[in-house]
Amino acid sequence: MPDTPGAPLLRRRLVTDMVDWNMVLLTRRELSIRIKILHVINNILFPSIYMPSSSLHVSLQPSQFSLPACTIMDYSTLRRQITFMKKSFFDQGYLDEQFNQLEELQDESSPNFVEEVVALFLKDSPRLLTNIEHTIGKYPQDFHRLDSLVHQLKGSGSSIGAVRMKNECSVFKAHCNDKNLEGCRRSLQRMKREHATLKQKLESYFQLLRQVAPREHAVNSRK
C-alpha cells in the first residue's frame, strides 16, 4: 500500500509523544485530539487494524492505552523509557537491590519470572492489608495477630524489593510492640497508599516491557 506523504514523519512524532504519555499528564482535550489523529493515521496506513470509536473516549490514564507491540512504537525509544522508569523506581526509593536479583534470575527458561513474582505479590498483599484492617477493627485488640500479618506482608514486600512497603511494615510492627492502636491505624493508611502507588508503577512498567517482549523474543530466537 502506498505511503501517504508526510505520514511516517507524523507517525514517528506522534509515537514519540505517546511514549511520553506515561510521564506527562495531558488535558482531556489534548488526549482526545491525539487519539483522533492516531485513529486517522491508522485508518490510512493500516486499514486492516480497526480502532473502535469507543477508543476515542479514553480515561485520563495514559498508561492504560496499549499500542500494538512494536508495530508503531520505536523500539529504542521504548527501551529508553523502560530504563528511565526502572531507574526512577530506585531513585525514588520504591525498589531496592532485591528487584535486580529477581531480574538476574529471569532467563529463557523463565522469561516472565519477575512479572510472575510481582503478580503473586500484588495478588496476595491486598488480602493481607484487608486482614490487617479487619483485625485492627476488632475488640479486644489482637496485637499478636496484627504483628503476624504485617510480618507476612513485610516478607512478601521484601522479596520483590519493595523497600517503602517494607519500611512502613517495620513502623507498624513497632506500633504493635508498643500496643499503640492509633499508630497502627495511621501506619496502615500509609501502607495502603504505598501499595497503591507501587502497584500502579509496576503495572505500567510491565506493560511497557510486554511491548518489547515480542521483538526481543524474535531477536533471541535468531541467535
Residues forming contacts to another protein in the complex (CB under 8 A) are 98, 101-102, 104-105, 109-110, 113, 116-117, 120-121, 124, 148, 151-152, 154-156, 158-161
Smallest distance, another protein to C-beta of residue 221, A: 21
Nearer to another protein, 55 or 148 (CB): 148
Q: Which is nearer to another protein, 42 or 156 (CB)?
A: 156
Q: How far is the CB of 202 from another protein (least distance, A)?
A: 14
* Closer residue to another protein (CB): 20 or 124: 124
Residue 18 or residue 118: which is nearer to another protein going by CB? Answer: 118
For the CB of residue 26, give the shortest distance to another protein in the complex, in Å.
Answer: 36
Q: How far is the CB of 33 from another protein (least distance, A)?
A: 43
- In 3D space, the residue among 177, 179, 151 whose CA is nearest the CA of residue 165 turns out to be 151
Rg of the Cα atoms in the chain: 22
Q: Which is nearer to another protein, 19 or 117 (CB)?
A: 117
Closest CB 135 distance from another protein, rounded Å: 16
Q: Using CB atoms within 10 A of its CB, is residue 176 exposed (0-12), middle (13-18) or buried (19+)? A: buried
